[in-house]
Amino acid sequence: MSGIAWPAFLLLAQLVALLVLLVSVTQNLLYFTLMLIALWAMASRPPARRTRALWSELVDLAPSLSVIVPAYNEELTIEESVRALLALQYPDFEVIVVNDGSTDATLERLKSRFALEPEEVAGTGPLPHAPCRRVYRSASNPALRVIDKENGGKADALNAGINLAEGELYCAADADSLLEADSLLRAVQPFVEGGEQTVAVGGTVRVANGCRVRGGRVVEVRLPNRFLALLQTIEYMRAFTMARLAFERFGALFIISGAFGIFRREAVLAVGGYDTATVGEDLELVLRLHRFLRERGRSYEIRFVPEPVCWTQVPESLPALARQRMRWHRGALESLAAHHRMIGRRRYGTPGWLGLSTLFLLDVLAPAVEAAGYVLMPFFWALGMLDTNFLLAWLALTFAFGIVVSIGSLVLEEMELRRVPRASHLALLALAAIAENFGYRQLNNFWRMAGHLAWLRGAGGWGRQTRRAFARA
Amino acid sequence: MAAGDRFLDSVLWLVWQLTLLLVLLALLVLLVLVLRRLATELRGERRIREREAARRLILGRLHGDEAELDPAALHGLPAAFLIELIDELSQMVRGEGRERLAALGARLGLVDRLLRALRSWRPGVRAEAARRLAIYRSEKVTRALCAALSDATAGTRVAAAVALVDRDAAWSLLQSRARHDPALAGPTAFAFWQRLAELRPRAFTELFGEPCPPERRVLMLRAAGAAGLTNLVESIAAEAASADPAVRRAATMALLDLKHPLGLDALARMLSDPEPRLRADAVTAAARRRLVGLLGLVRACLEDPDATVRFRAGEAVRRLGGLHPAAFGGSPR
């Protein structure tokens, strides 16, 4: 290398290294701040009420609610899920299962187990969706209705369900998820307290792998047997007990999990329902609600309540997890692209300047910069372009700080929610919180990059889904 | 080495040292929590049995000629558990049982703990303490609840107001707060207005007659309907013609809750309200309450310019038993 080129290369390398370090510092500071805010939010909320007390308080006030369950090839779990949903503790609710053109025996199983009878319906409703074949009502439990429609995807199925729903609120739930008996009662509190201002509420989603299930309910909380699922348990805990709680505090919550969220039906109808063109329909809907209400200057609340819990099965194999993560990332990018005008704009308040900017930094910028860091930083250091302290600082921020954040969310969980059943489980989760930073985090970054490429190529669809029955007690 | 480089080097050194320190700290905190949990587990079975026994013991002494429970029988149980238990039981029992619960709580020293919680830095804890203090009727508690009416958070003020409704000593202060505190016009204050309508109907009627912001008016209308205050029918009917859509809707619903014939007239008017949201709600209300007499008007809503109203009208017509062919004409769009 010539005499001029080497100093220029050195300067460039140092600038790149500084950028990588700065992004890492910003990312970690953000996580740390979110953790502190979540701690404050947890500490300042009232203690969780007992179900009986909550029931007597809400029985006359809880708005009517429709639980909408899109089902595609769910024959293994559908009966158990529906029975559990029908047994939820809520004063006034119905369950609408939307059979989204399943190719297995989902509908037949529902028909035989719940004595479904065809029902005439008036119109198809204001939201567009794939053609509906028939609507059924259960003769054994009139609170259950089933829509049989042609396949159109989850968002399309939810739109069909919203059209038919009679409740003032609706709860979007996955067919392979299990809701705790009092989850609706707990999640509906902000709707009662906030009145019409509250347009959506999200609850906590937890990993059901390994748990003992009876009658569609988790009767014994256990940790997953597979290491991959154990790592995801920590991830879910971090996402729900930390990030969502913190964003909610600032009115910047924009993710309500598709597995469990309650929405004011009228608000969702006003924004045109779910977008069927994206795979991140849950995120996109919340963003659209924020945008719609902000643009009209309406005062509103989108809340997160940590107590209502929904249990879900997470992928236990690398290919399935890779597909899921790539889909999530693609969905996030699609939603970001669709609402990019909101990023950093004061007009859109905290969801714009705080929520979306953070999403952009953490989901778009940071993974790419971190991936570049894995290659460049050791390389620059080996060539003597970087000081050892530089490399150590980067390693500490990239690997060790992740441990602080994960352990922090575990501490938060133990101090305020106490959902981890045993001390040994807590210790095991602590080990997982350390281990996830060495390999799993990097894999996640790689899948995000792959999702990014898939988005740039314009790939669509959900990919192959595999279903497993729950472990029985 | 330049001074700038030395500074950067020190900062970088500090970054990785601090990060490692944070990791150690986090692990240490978690270790403490794990050990604490382990200790709880070791005495868990015994604690569960003790708690169940306490529940049965207290429930068995709430009524009849049984002697009041000796607090020594509950010795060793955590105060937080006893506070929660008494709160839970107080929602299940009335009259003498409630008084006995309050007396037991006072003898166990729970009142002082709740009064301390009422001064906590955590707003949620303050609000919960104010709610739980409602069964204790001593002067000290009343004074503390009166002070809580000036709390910084709306939740605590509302909880204190609910707890004070039936205490004469606090009535004049509460009346003034009811008029001026914006927290008592918020959606969470419904419980206060409902309790006021039930326990002090005359005072409620007096407050109802005063001018107030629409938010409070809506709450009062809902409370009047829920508490069955038929003496207010004429005033409520007048509100059904208010300029504020939320007040119009609340007044109509209150009349329907009171099962007064004027409710039908108000709902009929609401079916042709200029606000589409009100028309949609009127259609749903007619269907939910099975008001077959309004079927003709509901059916007319099948031609409404608003898609939601048309859709709800289709549902309502079916519920009311009038299977009009227009209801099956496909999407209203």
Q: What DSSP string runs through B177-200?
A: HHHH-GGGGSGGGHHHHHHHHHH-
Q: Residue for token digits 């790689």?
A: A446
Interatomic CA distance for residues B268 and B262, integer angstroms: 10
Contact B38 A423 (CB under 8 A): yes
Q: What's the pLDDT band for B248 if we cut at 50, 70, 90?
A: very high
Alpha helices in chain B (DSSP H): 3-42, 44-60, 79-90, 95-107, 110-117, 123-132, 139-148, 154-164, 171-180, 190-199, 201-208, 214-227, 233-239, 245-257, 261-270, 276-288, 295-300, 307-319
Nearest-CA distance from A319 to chain B in Å?
32
For residue A454, the tally of other CB atoms under 10 A from its CB is 18
> CB neighbours of A132 closer than 8 A, spacing ≥ 6?
A124, A147, A148, A149, A150, A160
| Facing residue for A122 by CB, picked from B15, B23, B315 | B315
Interatomic CA distance for residues B153 and B142, integer angstroms: 19
Alpha helices in A117-264 (DSSP H): 154-164, 183-187, 189-194, 227-238, 245-249
Whether chain A has a CB inside 8 Å of the CB on B323: the answer is: yes
Interatomic CA distance for residues B272 and B298, integer angstroms: 10
Contact A44 B122 (CB under 8 A): yes
What is the DSSP code (8-state) at residue A62?
P
| Facing residue for A396 by CB, picked from B20, B191, B280 | B20
Amino acid type, B47: R
A421: nearest Cα among B49, B46, B81, B40: B40
pLDDT score at A429: 93
- The model's pLDDT over A121-135, given as tens digits with 9 standing for 90+, comes to 766 678 889 999 999
Whether chain A has a CB inside 8 Å of the CB on B277: the answer is: yes
Average pLDDT over residues B223-232: 92
- The model's pLDDT over A363-419, given as tens digits with 9 standing for 90+, comes to 888 888 888 898 889 998 998 888 898 899 999 988 888 899 999 989 988 887 888
Is pLDDT at B325 greater than 50 in this prediction?
A: no
Average pLDDT over residues A40-54: 77
Interatomic CA distance for residues A46 and B125, integer angstroms: 5
- The model's pLDDT over B264-320, given as tens digits with 9 standing for 90+, comes to 999 999 999 999 889 988 998 898 888 888 999 999 999 998 877 887 788 788 778
Domain positions in chain A: 10-47+176-473
Q: How much is the mean pLDDT over chain B?
A: 87
- The model's pLDDT over A179-215, given as tens digits with 9 standing for 90+, comes to 999 999 999 999 988 878 899 999 999 999 999 888 7
pLDDT score at A302: 94
pLDDT score at A353: 86
What is the DSSP code (8-state) at residue A46?
P
For the question of whether the overall pTM of this predicted structure is more than 0.95, the answer is: no
| Facing residue for A50 by CB, picked from B88, B314, B328 | B88
Q: Would the ipTM clear 0.85, i.e. be above it?
A: no
- The model's pLDDT over B78-95, given as tens digits with 9 standing for 90+, comes to 888 889 888 888 877 878
pLDDT score at A258: 86
Q: Residue for token digits 């597979």?
A: A226
Burial class (CB in 10 A: 0-12, 13-18, 19+), A434: middle
Whether chain A has a CB inside 8 Å of the CB on B19: the answer is: yes
pLDDT score at B327: 41
Q: Chain A neighbours among B 160-219 (CB < 8 Å)?
A: 187-188, 190-191
Contact A146, A99 (CB under 8 A): yes
Whether chain A has a CB inside 8 Å of the CB on B311: the answer is: yes
Which residues does chain A have within 8 Å of residue B37's beta carbon, measured at their own beta carbons? 414, 422-423, 426
Which residues does chain B have within 8 Å of residue A400's beta carbon, measured at their own beta carbons? 16, 19-20, 22-23
Higher local confidence (pLDDT), A352 or B5: A352
Q: Chain A neighbours among B 116-155 (CB < 8 Å)?
A: 122-125, 127-128, 155
Q: Residue for token digits 């050194």?
A: B13
- The model's pLDDT over A57-76, given as tens digits with 9 standing for 90+, comes to 777 678 889 999 999 998 88
Contact A389 B9 (CB under 8 A): yes
Return the structure tokens found at A200. 């959506």
Nearest-CA distance from B324 to chain A in Å?
9
Which residues does chain B have within 8 Å of residue A427's beta carbon, measured at their own beta carbons? 34
Which residues does chain A have within 8 Å of residue B280's beta carbon, measured at their own beta carbons? 266
> CB neighbours of B35 closer than 8 A, spacing ≥ 6?
A423
Whether chain A has a CB inside 8 Å of the CB on B87: the answer is: yes
What is the DSSP code (8-state) at residue B135?
G
Contact A200, A302 (CB under 8 A): yes
Contact A47 B328 (CB under 8 A): no
Nearest-CA distance from B264 to chain A in Å?
22
A198: nearest Cα among A256, A117, A122: A256
